Structure formats: structure tokens, C-alpha cells
A = this chain, B = another copy of it.
Amino acid sequence: MKVTALAGGIGAAKFLLGLQDSTPVDEITIIANTGDDIELYGLRICPDIDTVTYTLAGVVNQATGWGVANDTFACLSSLARYWGPAWFNLGDRDLATHMYRTQQLRSGRSLTEVTDEIRSALGVGPKILPMTDAYAPTTVVTDEGEMHLQEYFVRRKCEPRVRQIRCADPGAAAPGVEQAIKEAAVAIICPSNPFISIGPILATPGVIESLRVTTARVVAITPIVGGRALKGPTAEMLRDLGHEVSSASVARLYREFVDSFVLDNQDANLRSSIEAMGIRVLTTDTVMDSPDDKRRLACEVLDWVTSDAARGGGRLQQ
């Protein structure tokens, strides 16, 4: 059963670790956000791809959710001698990935090819596709001006008020992206920020169309639990952009292409309002702390959408 997942960074990676542990890895394709890519120090850095890859490889820094476990920061402190104070953390081991990617891209290879090589070098099983081979960073329009997403997120620590998220048009999806959605039995929108993690993937030409035409069950997992984001600025962005900070707002953003939504037990009261959008709802514990949590959630989601499909379920008729 082919499973395709649209993924941002840390939240997605936790779920994907459970998915990897509960599904044959050669049936999993991950479409990773590259809207948060940034060029710094002459290097092409793909934070979401790397977070997913490192997490599935078991080398991620579990305390932060990004970077490599037990990494050191000697190079970064020396980079500051030349470039001034660093605001984007890059560990010494992590740097090797960016250096390899950058050199390979400069030698004419595509991000799809390099991502696959890095995946393979780190022994990760599931296929990881960048949403696009283009460099098309997302910007955030704030009340202090427009800035690269990482400037807003890391340098400014999400402090400026957000007025608009601008997902760049990358021109085309990477090879295999549309096909992976169309050929999947289950397409999963991971528990990621809908604006800056999933939004850029959806803004990639062909992705929404593929989600609309696929015969896959399309299920989103809430990134909001009890009115708060487990990771990152999803809550702040919902609020700043005029949405209620709730799972129902996320379901509404996705309503035109998801048929199923996974809601946290804490938000069970939102079930009927999401069902009212014509979306089936699974209410369960979506907070993933232990490896067991992750595996259980992945199994439960897959069991639900597939058994539901076997019973002839699909989009609810309103």
C-alpha cells in the first residue's frame, strides 16, 4: 500500500518515524517542503529535508528536533570571525550535509538527486522528494517588512507580527512529486505548520491538482492540540492571519483536498464542525513523545483510513 506524506520539519519527522516503523519503507514517499531553504555562508541549506532525513536516520538531535546529535559548533564560531555573529545554527557534522549538497548542486545535479544520495548515505529507507528542484524560499510579510522565513523564524524568533506568508512559485514540482500523490493509496498531510511547511508544497504547481484527482485517501493530522501548536509558530500565524487558533481552522485550510482529518482527544468538541465541512474525523491522542506514541499514531491513522475505505467510505456527503 503506497503511502505519500507531505512533510515540513520537526512535527512531520516525528510522525514519519512512526510511519517508517509501521509500514514497509519502500512503500513510503515523503514530499518535503523546501520553502524554508536558505543560502548562508555560500551553502544551500534545506532545514526540513534535513530534519526529516536525520530523524529517520536516527541521528537527529532529539533535544532540539533539528541538527545532528552530539554535534559541535566550532566552525560556526569561526565563521563569525569573517561574517559577523551567526544567527542560524549549523553544527560541524551538520555542515557536511550542506557542503555536499552545495557542491553537488554546483556541479549540475538536481536537488532531487542530491537529496536521494544523502538519504542513501545516511541509510534512510523511505524515498524523500523535495517538493521542487528550484530554490524558491518563502517570505514572511511582517509589520517590520518582508523577510526570508528563516529570518522571521530564527533570527527574529517569530516576534514581528505576521501580515502575510508569501510562498514563492517554484515553477514546477520535482520529478515524481505529482505521480507519488496520484499513485498513493493514502496521502498524508503531516502535523506541520499549514502556512510555512505545507503551504509551500501546496503552492507548487500540480500538487493541489494531484491531491484533487488522486484516488488516495487524503488525511491531514492536526498540528494544533488544545489551541496550541506543539512546535513552532503555527498558533501565532493562525492568529495573526485572522484565523481562530484551532484544529478546525487547519481543517478549513485543507478542506478542498482532504477527506479525513485526525483530531486530538483534547479537541473532541471540534469534531462536528469539521465533519460539517464534509471531512471524516478520527479523534485520538496525537501528541507523540515516545517511539511507541509515534508508531501507534501512524498505525492508527493508516488502519482508520484503509478500513474506512474498505467499507466504501470516502468524502462525506454534505
Q: Establish whether residues A79 and B96, one from each chain, have CB atoms under 8 Å apart when the complex forms.
A: yes
**Cβ contact within 8 Å between B71 and A96:** no
Residue in contact with A74 in the complex, picked from B72, B99, B102, B118, CB distance below 8 Å: B72
* A169 in the interface (beta carbon within 8 A): no
Contact A96 B121 (CB under 8 A): no
- Is A269 engaged at the interface, CB distance under 8 Å to the other chain? no
CB distance from A38 to the nearest CB of B (A): 14
Q: Do residues A82 and B106 form an inter-chain contact, with CB atoms below 8 A?
A: no
| Mask: chain A, 170-189; 1 = CB below 8 Å from B; 0 = not | 00000000000000000000
A92 beta carbon closer than 8 Å to chain B: yes
Report the minimal beta-carbon distance from A119 to chain B, rounded to whole angstroms: 11
Number of copies: 2
Smallest CB–CB gap between A212 and chain B, Å? 38
Label chain A's interface by main secondary structure: helix
A81 within 8 A of B: yes
Best-surrounded residue of A71, A83, A92 (most CB of chain B within 10 A): A92
User: Which of B72, B76, B82, B94 touches A118 (beta carbons < 8 Å)?
Assistant: B82
CA distance A97 to B79 in the complex (A): 7
Are B75 and A93 within 8 A (Cβ)?
A: yes
Report the nearest B residue to A40, measured CB to CB. B103
Q: Is the CB of B74 within 8 A of A93?
A: yes
When chains A and B are docked, how far (Å) is the Cα of A42 from the Cα of B101?
10
CB distance from A68 to the nearest CB of B (A): 8
A304 shortest CB reach to chain B, Å: 38
Residue in B42, B68, B93 whose CB lies within 8 Å of A102: B42
Whole-angstrom distance from the CB of A98 to the nearest CB of chain B? 10
Say yes or no for A135: interface residue by CB 8 A criterion.
no
Q: Given the complex of chains A and B, what is the CA–CA distance between A71 and B78 in angstroms?
A: 11
**Smallest CB separation, A83 vs chain B (Å):** 7
A57 CB, nearest partner CB in chain B, Å? 10
Interface residues of A in 231-248 (CB under 8 A from B): none
**A103 CB contacts on chain B under 8 angstroms:** 41-42
Q: Which residues of B contact A75 (CB under 8 A)?
A: 75, 92-93, 95-96, 99
Q: A75-B99, A79-B100 provided; 15 other pairs, C-beta below 8 A?
A: A41-B100, A41-B103, A42-B102, A42-B106, A43-B99, A72-B92, A74-B74, A74-B92, A78-B94, A78-B97, A79-B96, A79-B99, A82-B96, A82-B118, A82-B121
